[in-house]
Structure 1
Amino acid sequence: MISIALLALSVAGAGACVSSAAYTSRVQQANPVSTGRIVTVNGHGVNVLTAGTAGPPVLMIHGASANAREFSWTLAPRLESEFRVLMADRPGHGYSQRFDGASALGAQAAQMAGVLDQLAPGEKAVIVGHSFGGAVALRLALDRPDLVEGLVLSAPVSHDWGGGGQAWYNGLAAAPLVGPVFTQLVPTVGPAQVRAGIDSVFDPAPVPENYFENSAIGLLFRPPNFRANAQDVRTLEGELASQSKRYGELTVPIVVFSGSRDTVISPKLHVGELKKQVPVELVILPDEGHMPHHAHGGDVANAIRRLATGGESR
């Protein structure tokens, strides 16, 4: 029997569908899919933004609650004169298609590998990953080392963290029955809440001007995208518990940029553990939070250049 609470949520969700559709239309007009290209990988579309037309390939993988536009105004402009920069939406984010099993890191890495197979065939790329994207980048290097020249990771998530730290709304959004209804409510409150909370992600560094608009954070609050993000986050710890056992297999150079005052993740529990398993060049940034590739974009770009030209990590 459907509970009274669930029935009330269903009624509210039905009423929210109209506002949700209107929100989706507005945010997609502001951030059109036409700015990228759709590459079909394993039967599913992957949206890829590109910059630069010559030079070695660089593939950039965004974190949770984000999309490929995170890099289009931060790192890509620093590299596009020397590299072919590929910025891919992960499955269910931005304009990439979601599919059953897409939360698995292996599945996400396979989609990223397919992008390289099609857009940079026969070449190795430097893989850039931020936060959740760092976990996908590591999996790509494990599963397809033939595609990877090196890894440059910004505040990466790499290991399970012992439970906790999950936002309550991700549990609701990921739930099989309640989730589709709950996510219809998200456009009415989500954008304002995130705008108010952006400071904590960058803290103690300042939030760049127009960050919300430039990174197209609004795309997250389309109901299917919000649900996909919640499923990814809810699945991540179990995925990492398994994946992290394989890190000893990694042979590519790895550079990690880590904010010393990151409060979104614990560097000690992630890159600290990664360093115990594999050589890592760790760049610790004082007075930096979870977004090192913004204020320290020049340093990140230099690390990419070095690995792309065969420079080893220290």
Structure 2
Amino acid sequence: MKLALIVLALIVIFAGVTLWKARAHEAHAEASHPPEGRILTVDGHRVHAVVMGPDRADAPDLVLIHGLSGNTRDFTHSLAPALATRYRVIVFDRPGLGHSERIDRTGATIVQQADLLSRAARQLGAQRPIVLGHSYGGAVALAWAVHQPENLSGLVLVSAPSQPWQRDLSWYYRLTSHPILGPIVIPLITAYVRDSRVSAMLDAIFAPQAPDPDYAAHVGAGLTLRRETLRTNALQRANLLAEITALQPHYHRIDLPVESVHGTADTTVGLDIHAVPLEQQIDGARLTRLDGIGHMPHHVARSEVIAAIDRAAARAGAGQQE
């Protein structure tokens, strides 16, 4: 009996220390990487938006949607500033990531996210923007185009998943999305995993290229390790296959300019599995293959991504100022 009480006391102490360390880690991350833009309220939900570029009638609106584990800083590192000379660029944190509030406790579907971000864009005066989505954000952009075609003028997909696939969910996402184990494991990750561990993982995401030396510090690895972010990210990833399976039969309804940019060396979202079939499923879609490029073309092949945006804008009839 005495031993059991000692063990219980140790468990309680460990849990208390873990929660304290988790809260401290989160506080430090949010203090070191605060919101870059403004916080909108859209139907009662807080949405973080960064707006860059000229506020002119002839400057096309361009929305950028980040991928899994990301936030606005993935785009504000280099792509958004490069575009902001000619576009009014709007970068959103997806629900539950960065500084945007979760929609619900189940992760929010790509359709729900597209609906929220579409309304946020209209709140900022972007009635029919060009929409670019990278990786998971590309699935959100596809849901936007399928379900709200009147609320965008063109679509740019960068390393985007679009087709059902066969590979099983990784053990990490199975664990962190689990209804019982996830809430137990996630505070341990937040409390005890160092930001440097996340920074080291960036090499695998960028491979075979490498991130800029200042990228990890800019994007804020600590934001990714917050408990709510880890849980939301895990649930969104775990639900993605079923959501894309439901969305895929409707791609033929997309009747607007679509530009797809995809690296031939992308091992995260395979070109042949996703981008190649999509080009055949959407009338007029154009695929740009980037030889030897991995999963992060908007960093390592930025000029090609910008060229795809310009083509989508031109095809949509958006005015351009050189």
- SS of residue in 1 equivalent to 2:269: coil
Tell me, yes or no, if the aligned pair for 1:66 and 1:217 is still in contact at 8 Å. Answer: no
Distance in 2, Cα, partners of 1:103 & 1:177: 19
Counterpart position of 1:152: 156
Counterpart position of 2:264: 260
- Which sits farther off after the overlay, 239-248 or 43-52? 43-52
Distance in 1, Cα, partners of 2:24 & 2:90: 30
Q: CA deviation at 1:9?
A: 8.5
Tell me, yes or no, if the aligned pair for 2:199 and 2:221 is still in contact at 8 Å. Answer: no
- Number of positions where the alignment pairs a residue of Structure 1 with one of Structure 2: 303
Matched, 1:111 2:116: yes
Counterpart position of 2:172: 169
Q: CA deviation at 1:65?
A: 1.0
Tell me, yes or no, if the aligned pair for 1:9 and 1:181 is still in contact at 8 Å. Answer: no
* Structure 1 unaligned blocks of 5 or more: 1-6
Amino acid at match of 1:19: K
The 5 Å alignment of 1:93-112 reads 93-100=97-104, 101-112=106-117
Which residue of 156, 177, 197 maps to 1:193?
Answer: 197
Counterpart position of 1:45: 46
Q: CA deviation at 1:158?
A: 0.9
Amino acid at match of 1:195: S
Q: CA deviation at 1:18?
A: 1.1
Tell me, yes or no, if the aligned pair for 1:9 and 1:182 is still in contact at 8 Å. Answer: no
For each residue in 1:146-202, what CA deviation from the matched residue of structure 2 results, as whole angstroms up to 9, or x when unmatched?
1211111110011221241x2322222222233222111113126333222221211
Counterpart position of 2:28: 26
**Computing the radius of gyration over CA atoms, which structure comes out larger, 1 or 2?**
2
Distance in 1, Cα, partners of 2:135 & 2:273: 13
Tell me, yes or no, if the aligned pair for 1:78 and 1:298 is still in contact at 8 Å. Answer: no
Tell me, yes or no, if the aligned pair for 1:128 and 1:151 is still in contact at 8 Å. Answer: yes
Amino acid at match of 1:85: V
- SS of residue in 2 equivalent to 1:305: helix
**Pair 1:12–1:140, CA change in 2 (3 A):** farther
Matched, 1:231 2:232: no
Amino acid at match of 2:308: A
Which residue of 85, 90, 95 maps to 1:91?
Answer: 95
Distance in 1, Cα, partners of 2:201 & 2:287: 28
Counterpart position of 1:183: 186
**Pair 1:14–1:244, CA change in 2 (3 A):** farther
Counterpart position of 2:304: 299
Counterpart position of 1:274: 278
Q: CA deviation at 1:102?
A: 4.2
Q: TM-score, normalised by structure 2?
A: 0.88
Amino acid at match of 1:231: L
Q: CA deviation at 1:42?
A: 2.6
Matched, 1:249 2:253: yes
For each residue in 1:273-307, what CA deviation from the matched residue of structure 2 results, as whole angstroms up to 9, or x when unmatched?
21221132111111210001112112212222332
Counterpart position of 2:320: none
For each residue in 1:111-132, what CA deviation from the matched residue of structure 2 results, as whole angstroms up to 9, or x when unmatched?
11111221125x3111010000
Counterpart position of 1:140: 144
Q: CA deviation at 1:45?
A: 1.1
Q: Sequence identity, in percent? A: 32
Distance in 1, Cα, partners of 2:14 & 2:196: 19
**Pair 1:10–1:254, CA change in 2 (3 A):** farther
Counterpart position of 1:15: 17
* Structure 2 unaligned blocks of 5 or more: 1-7, 318-322
Distance in 2, Cα, partners of 1:294 & 1:98: 27
Amino acid at match of 1:27: A
**Pair 1:61–1:9, CA change in 2 (3 A):** farther
Matched, 1:82 2:86: yes
**Pair 1:179–1:10, CA change in 2 (3 A):** farther
For each residue in 1:32-58, what CA deviation from the matched residue of structure 2 results, as whole angstroms up to 9, or x when unmatched?
12x221112232111111111321210
Tell me, yes or no, if the aligned pair for 1:135 and 1:157 is still in contact at 8 Å. Answer: yes
Tell me, yes or no, if the aligned pair for 1:212 and 1:218 is still in contact at 8 Å. Answer: no
Q: TM-score, normalised by structure 1?
A: 0.90
Amino acid at match of 2:291: P
Distance in 1, Cα, partners of 2:267 & 2:15: 33
Counterpart position of 1:36: 37
Tell me, yes or no, if the aligned pair for 2:186 and 2:227 is still in contact at 8 Å. Answer: yes
